[in-house]
Structure 1
Amino acid sequence: MNDWRIYRGVGQPHDGVRRLPEPPPWRDFTRAQDGASAGSQDPSGARRLGVRRRRAENYAPRPAEVDAVNAALYLRRPLLVTGNPGTGKSTLAYAVAHELRLGRVLRWPIVSRTTLQDGLYRYDAIGRLQDVQLERARVAGGNRSDPGAGNDAADGSDADGRADGGGADRDPGIGAYIRLGPLGTALLPSELPRVLLIDELDKSDLDLPNDLLNTLEEGEFAIPELERVADRQPVVEVLSHDSGRVAVHGGRIACTNFPLIVLTSNGERDFPAPLLRRCVQLELEPPGEEQLTAMVEAHLGEEGVAAGQDLIGRFLDREPGEVMAADQLLNALFLTQHTPHAERLTRERIADLLMQRLDRSR
């Protein structure tokens, strides 16, 4: 086949999709990352950092970025990162976690309906009630088949919701119905701080930034459902955001090492002063030639840099104030260099298609 196109618009079904080449490294969702240490722990970080091409080592942050990260680490304060889309705000969290060996980045993407409760924990009360009712029905059915078994198990449950009698060993307890969110998991006691990315905080409603204040200041929170049973169950295992089981003592979670919390914003709204004073603030400038070269080399190799100098130059020479994301450049470079027979399209057509300014009127 000498035609790079998979979809041809002919209206006839065909198996051309089987010729689809490997995805760009930053869109490869497979868990295997060629044995890269960070990739094996955090596939999302591997895609962002391009560890196949050692972008983690070539990241080349500006001095202001390094200083801001260190200030947040020393002061145990959140880092509020603002900047245009595609300037590397989220990538900064993954780069820090990779270099400092802080494990998988906990990510909390924010939308207009996000609440503080979403970040801390969720209690599935309905699911627990349904399981208790099913267990009661099972025990009641067993008692009808065995009249000598007694009726206690069918009559109710103990104060903690566990079925009495023969069903007690089948009830997983309240902890099975509580799952910590990314913020709640980040605040678990730990030997080293976790990295939490609270992505696009400016997309939230008006209340969330203020709702975060107390938790960010105190580094702890309560789970009322567990506090109510703390006298009978002082230690309860719950699910974490990492899908592991962790012990909660007395119904409260308090960090021993304050996490590195990276809050990102595209600058679509202003934040209240009480939040700003609790954060180390960093505004990211659009990537320069050094950052772009490191990014392209990390994902596409040295040959990608050499073959893409004209598109890199076009990206850097855009008009002042023109908003364009670095991943638009990567997309254009990949399509021209890594798609079979892409040379049939002119580089200008590909650049025009994929490198459109983000702030242009529609």
Structure 2
Amino acid sequence: MTGQSTGPSAADAHSDPAERPEDWWVFRGPSDLPAPPPWRHLPAARAAAPRAPYLLERNEISVVNAALHLHRPLLVTGRPGAGKSSLARAVAEELGLGDVLRWSVNSRSTLQDALYRYDAVGRLREASLRRERETPRGSARRPRARHAAAAGDIGQYLRLGPLGSALAADRPRVLLVDELDKADIDLPNDLLVVLEEGEFEIPELARLPEHQQEVQVLLSGSRERVTVHRGVVRCTHFPIVVMTSNGERDFPPAFMRRCVRLDLPEPTGDRLRKIIEHNLGEEAVAAAEDLIEVFHQRAKTQTLATDQLLAAVHLRISGADLSKEELLAAVLHRLDEPLSP
């Protein structure tokens, strides 16, 4: 038995002239997709767009500068959607340090994921294919895979991860370690050990013979290569490290001692207005006063993200034919409430 929908479909909306779709409807048949909201631009479009300042109070800017002076990781905490991850991009843009190197952490993340990846299977496969090409037809085959693999360029099968690339770069880079509180309990301290020492070893390179002690390896997210000598990646510039946490767990004192902490506060009504103006313009603020008030009241007892409010305001000013209640139900739902079965 197949399930049947009791609501109208997109095609049904065309059947009755009294129920023609609104101008802002896209899900109604062939139609051009609307432009994304300003904060949802793709990287290429974002790079071409004029840069807007990141909203921080004076005391918060001072904390960021303290981390820069101390060359210590900046641990940023706050509610979801408060702009924790965006701060890393703002620092990189303000200081002209290029793209942010990003490591998104989850419960399965390991330190090696962030340092480097070695494609041993790919290297052995290439060695096997090379042996097949070099062996004349009909001749006896000798087990040379291990020697062929050793003779190949191992650097082709190594790529530094975001942390490894931040350490190996010949200039300061910004590294975003996103949602560190989701990591295994030992990962934060392991991460700080590498950052304190400013170097790490790649065993696959350290074992190479003397005549292969300099190897070119790829950096994360680019075709740029760096030279690794004797299997050790050693930084010449401490990276600027921004780590974010949603407060899902506590970190050990040894970890906290080595960080500069920035707590992004709960947004006040004035700050919410500045955020809306910053992303959607002055006119959007006047059209959003009732939504701001609802968001501010709900946020006292519910987990909400600031970008949910932005989404509701964007829909309203873009002509969405939704009542206030429909807007709230669609995008301003609480994030700490389990889904109904």
Query: Normalising by the residue count of structure 2, what TM-score does the alignment of the two structures yield?
Result: 0.85
CA distance in 1, matches of 2:231, 2:219: 14
Paired residues of 1:160 and 1:174 also in contact (CA < 8 A)? no
Aligned to 2:237: 257
CA distance in 2, matches of 1:61, 1:236: 43
Aligned to 1:79: 74
Q: Percent identity?
A: 51
The one-letter code matched in structure 1 to 2:327 is I
Deviation per CA, 1:73-127: give whole Å up to 9, x if none: 1111111111221111111111111111111011100011000000000111111
Tell me how far 1:277 sits from its aligned partner. Answer: 1.2
- Match status 1:349 vs 2:326: yes
CA distance in 2, matches of 1:220, 1:246: 14
Tell me how far 1:230 sits from its aligned partner. Answer: 5.7
CA distance in 2, matches of 1:282, 1:128: 44
Aligned to 1:167: none
- Counterparts of 1:193-204 in structure 2 under 5 Å? 193-204=172-183
CA distance in 1, matches of 2:81, 2:45: 25
Deviation per CA, 1:298-352: give whole Å up to 9, x if none: 32222222322332233234453432111001110111112xx41x321332123
Q: 1:144 aligns with which of 120, 133, 137?
A: 137
Q: 1:336 aligns with which of 313, 316, 325?
A: 316
The one-letter code matched in structure 2 to 1:84 is R
Aligned to 1:233: 212
How many pairs were matched up? 318
- Counterparts of 1:296-335 in structure 2 under 5 Å? 296-318=276-298, 320-335=300-315
Tell me how far 1:158 sits from its aligned partner. Answer: 8.2
CA distance in 1, matches of 2:170, 2:268: 37
The 3 A distance-change label for structure 1 pair 327 and 285 is: same
Mean CA deviation greater in 200-209 or 19-28? 19-28
Aligned to 1:26: 39
The one-letter code matched in structure 2 to 1:83 is G
Aligned to 1:111: 106
The one-letter code matched in structure 2 to 1:351 is L
Aligned to 1:213: 192
Tell me how far 1:159 sits from its aligned partner. Answer: 5.3
The one-letter code matched in structure 2 to 1:25 is P
Aligned to 1:90: 85
Q: Secondary structure at the match of 1:282?
A: strand
CA distance in 2, matches of 1:30, 1:285: 28
The one-letter code matched in structure 1 to 2:67 is A
Paired residues of 1:82 and 1:283 also in contact (CA < 8 A)? yes
Paired residues of 1:137 and 1:154 also in contact (CA < 8 A)? no
Q: Secondary structure at the match of 1:264?
A: strand
CA distance in 2, matches of 1:30, 1:88: 17
CA distance in 1, matches of 2:299, 2:184: 33
Unaligned segments of structure 1, at least 5 residues: 9-14, 34-38, 41-50, 164-170
Aligned-residue RMSD, C-alpha: 2.4
Q: Secondary structure at the match of 1:32?
A: helix
Q: Secondary structure at the match of 1:246?
A: strand
The 3 A distance-change label for structure 1 pair 286 and 329 is: same
Q: 1:272 aligns with which of 232, 252, 269?
A: 252
CA distance in 2, matches of 1:93, 1:283: 14
Tell me how far 1:250 sits from its aligned partner. Answer: 2.0
